Each structure stands twice: as C-alpha cells, then as structure tokens.
C-alpha cells in the first residue's frame, strides 16, 4: 500500500539509489559507461576535426609535430575522462 509506514521503498516518490539505473544507463554503484562513451566520442570528433584542419593547412615537419601534439592531448583527455567516470562510481 503506497504511503504506508510498512514499506517506504514501495512509495511512488521513493528516491532510493541502491542498484538503481539512472537516465545515463549507469548503475548507482558502477562505472559510468554512458558518460565515458559520450566523452570518448566527443574526443574522437574533436581530434578528427583538428587533424583534418592541420592536414589542409600545415605541411612537412610542422604537420608531423601537430599530429603528435594533437594525439598527445587526445590521449591525456581520454585518460582524464576515464578517471572522471571512475570517480562518479565512488559518489
């Protein structure tokens, strides 16, 4: 019976989070796969745009340096995204 004192978890407005799935698809006690996936997709798109732009503007050694720099930034950003997704599991 909703609203009774016998079982508060059965109320329609219950806010219990143990094992509940949020709108992103992650469980309350696990790695936030949705956030991590969206962040990796964003990193991939931005990296591709920067690489295509640098390929059309830069040449030779300068292009090679730009590719290394862009790849390094993308790698560090992906590691940071993984750490953020892991930290959300601790909350």
Cβ atoms of residues 14 and 20 within 8 Å: no
Most confident of 12-16, 36-40, 73-77, 84-88: 73-77
Domain count of the fold of the chain: 1
| Residue 51 located in a structural domain | yes
| Residue 21 located in a structural domain | no
pLDDT value for 22: 53
What is the rounded CA–CA span in Å between residue 50 and residue 70? Answer: 7
| Residue 7 located in a structural domain | no
Q: Which residues contact 16 (CB under 8 A, 6 or more apart)?
A: 9
In terms of residue numbers, what domain contains 68?
Answer: 32-90
**Stretch (H or E) spanning 86:** helix 60-90
Cβ atoms of residues 41 and 77 within 8 Å: no
């Amino acid at each position: 019976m909703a609203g009774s004192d016998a079982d508060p978890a059965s109320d329609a407005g219950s806010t219990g989070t143990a094992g509940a799935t949020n709108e992103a698809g992650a469980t309350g006690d696990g790695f936030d796969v949705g956030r991590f996936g969206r962040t990796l997709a964003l990193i991939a798109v931005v990296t591709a745009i920067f690489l295509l732009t640098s390929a059309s503007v830069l040449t030779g050694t300068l292009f090679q340096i730009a590719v290394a720099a862009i790849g390094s930034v993308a790698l560090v950003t992906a590691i940071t995204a993984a750490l953020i997704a892991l930290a959300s599991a601790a909350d």
